[in-house]
Structures are given as C-alpha cells and as structure tokens.
Amino acid sequence: MKFFIDTANLAQIKEAHDLGILDGVTTNPSLMAKEGIKGDEAIRNHYKTICELVDGGDVSAEVFSTDFESIVAEGKILAAIHPNIVVKVPMIKDGIKALKWFSDNSIKTNCTLVFSAGQAILAAKAGANYVSPFIGRIDDSNWDGMELIGQIAQIYALQGFKTEILAASIRSSLHIVRAAELGANVCTCPLDPILGLLKHPLTDIGLAKFLDDAKKMQH
C-alpha cells in the first residue's frame, strides 16, 4: 500500500518524506487555505514546491471549477506545473466528463468526494487513476466508512477496473491498518496517524530492557 500525506504544510510533508516511506501528497482547497496561500501564482508555486519536496511522488491538486470546460482548462494549468501533478476532480456530472477527457489526454486524475460504491464505479468507468472514498466523513455520519473500501475493492477486482483505491479522510492509525486489510491501494492522512503506527508499549518496554542490558556489557 502506498502512503500519501494529506496536507499542504511543507514542514509536515518534509518530515514524512524524510522518514523514507512517503509515496505522494494529497491536498484540497481547505488544506491550501489553511496554509494561507492566496492567488493563482502563489497556488502554482506552492504545488511546485510540494512536487520538488516529494521528489517523484504523485501530488493531487484540486480544481475549483464545477463545469466541464472550466474543469478541463483548470486541470491543464495544474498539470503543466509539474509532471507529478494529479488533477483532483469532484464527483459531479461534469467532473465525470472531465475525468474521461483527462484520461483520453494522458493527464492523471484523482476523483474526490466519493461516498458510495456507485460513485466509485463511475469514477473507474471515466478512467480516473485514483478514487478517493472519504472514510472519516462517512464514520462521522454514523455509517461504516471502512465497509465502503471493502465493497469498492471487491467490485474493482471482479470487474478488472484499474483505478487505484485511495482511502481518504483517514483519521487514525487503525484506519490505515483496516484500509490495508481491505485492499486499499493507497491511504492518505495527516502525519500523526502515520507516526501512530510506530507505537506499541511492548516495543518501549523491550527496548528499555535491551538498552539496559547493553550498558551491562560495556562495564
């Protein structure tokens, strides 16, 4: 499973990249706004900096437009920033048309705001490279987000769809493990759930004992 970090914060992207396990980055307008980025040029520069930081990994950059022509125009500008840009397109009717256009024109895409298996089927049919089911937001509305990952994985395997399942809106380390078990190709989340995977009390206890015994060998 690939690990993407879900942030536009350069320090966090660098920290995750320095771990050596980062495969890419996802952003969205909320995450970009949180970093105080304003204006077209600043947006393009920020994406370029992220692409250079992650050095070869896919970087999802979301369009703001909602009609076909504008989504395509915006996506072309985003894709021209760097070869690793993946154009993130919302799950709407014109978005589906645009996904197909991007696919026919060799521009990589991530279909975002996916909350059902039916939407995931449409995204795959339109040729999206990634589909992003929002696990945490489904959980927030008292449904089981993880169930959707399993359902999409089963459908894609049965139907031979090539679209990669990008488990998004991941809120915990356990979410990452469950998404991996259920067949997600990628998970995207903030840095904390990734670092949370490190934690186990028996590791801490075991290491303390080993270090203690190592000291004994030195005297």
- By CB under 6 A, tell whether 29 contacts ligand E4P: no
* 3-state class (DSSP) for residue 33: helix
Strands (E), the chain: 2-6, 24-26, 58-62, 85-90, 109-114, 130-133, 164-167, 186-189
The answer to whether 115 touches 148, Cβ cutoff 8 Å, is yes
Question: Per-residue x/- mask for ligand E4P, residues 155 to 194, rule CB under 6 A?
Answer: -------------xx------------------x------
Whether 108 is a known active-site residue: answer no
The answer to whether 177 touches 199, Cβ cutoff 8 Å, is no
Interacting residue with ligand E4P among 13, 75, 95, 112 (CB under 6 A): 112
Direct distance between the N- and C-terminal alpha carbons of the chain, in angstroms, rounded to an integer: 45
Helices (H), the chain: 10-19, 29-34, 40-54, 68-79, 93-104, 117-125, 135-140, 145-159, 173-182, 191-196, 201-217
Q: Which stretch binds ligand E4P (CB under 6 A): 51-59, 78-86, 133-141, 177-185?
A: 133-141
Q: Which stretch binds ligand E4P (CB under 6 A): 49-57, 91-99, 131-139, 154-162?
A: 131-139
Interacting residue with ligand E4P among 137, 151, 172, 173 (CB under 6 A): 137
- Is 59 or 122 the residue whose CB approaches ligand E4P more closely? 59
- Is 29 or 212 the residue whose CB approaches ligand E4P more closely? 29
Q: How far is the CB of 66 from ligand E4P (least distance, A)?
A: 17
CB count in 10 Å sphere of residue 198: 9
Residues in contact with ligand E4P by the rule CB under 6 A: 6, 26, 28, 112, 132, 134, 136-137, 168-169, 188
Residues that are catalytic? 88
